[in-house]
Chains A and B, each alone.
Chain A
Amino acid sequence: MALQSGEKLPMVIGHIWSKQKSRWTLLGLRLLAFLAAAAATLVMVLNKQTKTFVIATIGTTPVNLTLTAKFHHTPAFVFFAIANGLVSIHNLVMIMVDLLGSKFDYKGFQLPMIASLDMLNLALVSGGANAAAFMAELGKNGNSHARWDKICDKFGAYCDRGAGALIASFLALALMLVISFLSILNLKLVNSSSHNSHNNIIALPN
């Protein structure tokens, strides 16, 4: 029974989902995900703000302290930048494979490889986006129990740009979710149709 109802849903979706349209939809989604992840990486890597504080006044000359907030002070943001960079490279490579891949012969290995790589990158970008989100929340609200002050009132532009990078990364995460679902669906369609023909061939001599 599992096998029978297993045919229904992919066939139904397969009728709605012709091969040409599915290919271009997937390609368009990958392009969007690539742009979102690349934007998140770039905004985070170029995120920098310098601010001068007056901490004391000796006589009439103020004593200045210059602090620079950069992304690489926080390992969570470094991981965020690396994860989003890897995801954007992955989407770029997948776009190339889709456009130029028909020349090579993968011996049936192409579709499972694409599906598993999509899932790996989905887990990667979700980890990076979430770690940076919690670090940003710590910077915005501080932590009264550990005596950590919030820094967003001093480094406002740094916080705003970081928030923009986070939004782009969450957009890339949502897109990667849909892309991963679609590539697994592709795999299931191809798999079920090939198994159908396989079973028919075996049933004949009986």
Chain B
Amino acid sequence: MAETKRIFTFLLRFIAFCTTLSAVIIMVSSRQRATVLVFSFEAKYSDTPAFKYFVIVNAIVSVYGFLVLFLPSKSLLWRLVVALDASDGFFPFFYKVFTILLTSSISAALAIAYVGEKGNPIAGWLPICDQVTKYCNQVKGALIVGFVSVVLYMLLFLYSLHTVLNPLLLEKS
């Protein structure tokens, strides 16, 4: 029973790490050069601060996910990074902060992507998705993967909370 629980937790953390890493990679590699009327411009992720924030947050979370998975137990960094989570008296600090950061980054990126797709007639903002279609599709893909990572990290956060609040469970695993 404890063995299946550990395998399941490892698998969940691994998939969450993969999703955040792929969200970063897909968003960073999205760029397209287009020509509108006379001038040509290049659409990159770094044009918008919301997408930059999305990339930075997902990069930080994937580094943490990598550390949690592949760091050997009982080393100093492990105690600092992971033990602070399930520790005692303290609520699961890192998972909470990262879940909140992930939700805020995905909602900001979605807001800007919506303006890019539909435009805003009152402000005179034209949609740009029909000019840079490949860039738009790649950004949409990165946002979908980011949304999956939000759901997974929320599950991981609830699980770590459950582990903290149930000392009998902590003893067995």
Binary contact readout B152-170 vs A (1 if CB under 8 angstroms, 0 otherwise): 0010011001001111101
Q: Is B76 an interface residue (CB 8 A)?
A: no
Which of A61-117 touch B at CB < 8 Å?
67-69, 73-76, 79, 112, 116
Residues of A within 8 A of B164 (CB): 188
Among A21-29, A30-38, A122-130, the stretch that binds chain B is: A122-130
Q: Could you list 20 examples of A-B contacts with CB < 8 Å?
A: A2-B86, A3-B170, A3-B171, A74-B115, A75-B114, A76-B111, A123-B154, A126-B100, A127-B104, A131-B104, A133-B108, A135-B112, A137-B49, A145-B41, A145-B43, A146-B116, A147-B128, A149-B123, A187-B165, A188-B165
Pair A184/B47 contact, Cβ less than 8 Å? no
Q: Is A138 an interface residue (CB 8 A)?
A: yes
- The 8 Å CB contact of B167, one of A6, A13, A181, is A6
B residues near A (Cβ < 8 Å) are 41, 43-44, 47-50, 53, 86-91, 96, 99-100, 103-108, 110-112, 114-116, 120-126, 128, 154, 157-158, 161, 164-168, 170-171
Known pairs A74-B111, A127-B107, A149-B123 / 9 extra A-B pairs, C-beta < 8 Å? A3-B170, A8-B89, A75-B111, A76-B107, A130-B105, A130-B107, A131-B104, A134-B112, A139-B123
Q: Which of B44, B111, B165 has most chain A Cβ within 10 Å?
A: B111
Q: How many A-B residue pairs have CB under 8 A?
A: 125
- The 8 Å CB contact of B110, one of A123, A131, A151, is A131
Q: Quick one: closest B residue to A141, CB to CB?
A: B49
